[in-house]
Amino acid sequence: MNQNLAFADYAVFIIYFIVVSAYGYSVYRKRKQDEHDAKAYFLAEGNLTWWAIGASLIASNISAEQFIGMSGEGFFLGIAVAAYEWLAAVALIIVAVWFIPVYLKNKIYTMPQFLKTRYNESTALIMAVFWLFLYVFVNLTSILYLGAVAINGLAGGEYLHVIMIGLAVFALFISLGGMKVVAYTDVIQVAVLIIGGLVTSYIALTTVGQYFGVGQNAIEGFKVLMREAPEHFKMIIPRPTANSSQLDIDKYLTFPGLMSYLAGIWIINLNYWGCNQYITQRALGADLQTARTGILFAGMLKLLMPLIVMLPGIAAYVLYQNGHLPQLVGGKDGAYSAVLTFLPTGLKGLSVAALTAAIVASLAGKVNSISTIYTLDVHKKYIQKDAGEKQQVNIGRIAVFAAMLLAVLFTWNDLLGIGGVGGFTYIQKYTGFISPGVFAMFFLGMFWKRTTGTAAIVGVILGFVLSVLFNEYAPALFGNETLLYTAYPNGKGAFEIPFHICMGLSFFFTMLAMIGISFAGPKVNPKAFEIDSEMFKVKPQTTVLIVITLLVIVALYVKFW
């Protein structure tokens, strides 16, 4: 078993690089006439097909945090972590039916623009700065760091910084062409990551079957996983008792059973898929039916993702527990890389290409969104108000370089401690600090005409403050057992509230505050959006996609509850 890459693996990877680069350049050449059209650069306005939108959503979403982080949580928690993916499909239905019509009817191109149109400039500026910091110092850095660590482990462990720079440069090469280049290269990227991911899962299952004497059979290997780790195939993690081990408590802190479904996981998904420039940008330039179909197509692809990004982690757990995975290093986040070592020469290169595709697509999409927000919502409005189309595109490209440079600098020696807490948890937890306030502000702004600008500013700030309070200080200030929460020992000498519950509490109190403040204003805010029932009607083919998705999700939960 060769843990490092061979010549054939490098050959497969180089072919992937050439194909993506050549296709991206051809797309760029076709849009050359729009070289200095700002909306064409930032949004590919009106030019994306439904399949390009759906593929781009998945390629930008599935990255190192899933391949490395979610596989690691599969190793640690099991199938419970699949809820992030399966409920994302439900969230995408909600976004397609109710959120996107509001954006498109009001010609919204960026999320800060939504806030300015619905509330005021102060709210838009505060959130533009929030998002820029979040995208650069949480999302961009974690994707780059986790991806470089994973690929470095397969390349021999001596090229971390070279790989880090290579990923950054590859992403820059794609993103400088604008959103249309990003989106259409994402079609190739998502095909590579799905095929490569499925190959990895298949090899993982056949390897399990081989080691446990049932033959190189993927189905038999899956049965071995269910037999050897039955607790890893339960969607609901039980609440700890006085006799629970620290391991069981740690699992509950990461994913607190039914409380996750009543609190945090919906806020995470609806905020991520519906109020996130990085995601919604792909659909904001299309017509309503194209945008809806693309989003629902992405939702159907999400149903496959646990098979690709979580199952290898469970396979790694079973192999490791039985002494068949000595190459596992770095804790749970090393599970995916360890499984890749079982792949034969050539296929290993395909899987590394899949991992690279996910990383590069996410990096390119993220810096494009950073560039869009900075250029349209900060620079154009507050620094260079007379900037023309050509200047905006150039400013956007400078912002792309600056964001990627910052990401490289902060991940060079892991200054943010991403490797210490686990990549997936790092992203979910720190994104969750602003998610409650942001989602409350968007939700009320879309669907309650009375919501005021003052309530929005209070909401986003209060949501952040409450998130910090519940996550970091509440047990010490108010005790470990209250009417609102139970805090559990975290194994580090302190007590902690599960962060999903923290998000739910923050969201609840933020909503109360915003509603209370809004009642002091007019019954209908002058800036409220006009909404009519016709906006939310769906065509029969859209209904079919929704029903199929929901039936599959129900079947999965019935099987693994």
Can you give the CATH number for the domain in which 111 is found? 1.20.1730.10
* pLDDT of amino acid 183: 64
pLDDT in tens, 532-549: 888 899 999 999 999 999
| Tokens of residue 351, six digits | 């899987």
* pLDDT of amino acid 54: 87
* pLDDT of amino acid 2: 47
Are 495 and 488 a contacting pair, CB within 8 Å? yes
* pLDDT of amino acid 221: 94
* pLDDT of amino acid 190: 77
96 with 218, same domain?
yes
Cα–Cα distance measured from residue 357 to residue 194, given in angstroms and rounded to the nearest whole number = 10
110 with 212, same domain?
yes
97 with 209, same domain?
yes
| Tokens of residue 315, six digits | 């396979």
385 with 478, same domain?
no
368 with 489, same domain?
no
> What is the tally of structural domains in the chain?
2
* pLDDT of amino acid 511: 97
Give the domain extent around 175. Answer: 66-237+302-421
166 with 312, same domain?
yes
Residues (pLDDT < 50) of the chain are 1-2
Please state the pTM of the whole predicted model: 0.85
pLDDT in tens, 432-455: 788 899 999 999 999 999 999 999
Residues whose CB is less than 8 angstroms from the CB of residue 123 and which lie 6 or more positions away in sequence, other chains included? 115, 116, 441, 453, 456, 457, 460
464 with 411, same domain?
no
127 with 173, same domain?
yes
SS (H, E, C) 170-195: HHHHHHCCCHHHHHHHHHHHHHHHHH
Residues in the chain, how many?
Answer: 561
* pLDDT of amino acid 424: 61
* pLDDT of amino acid 509: 97
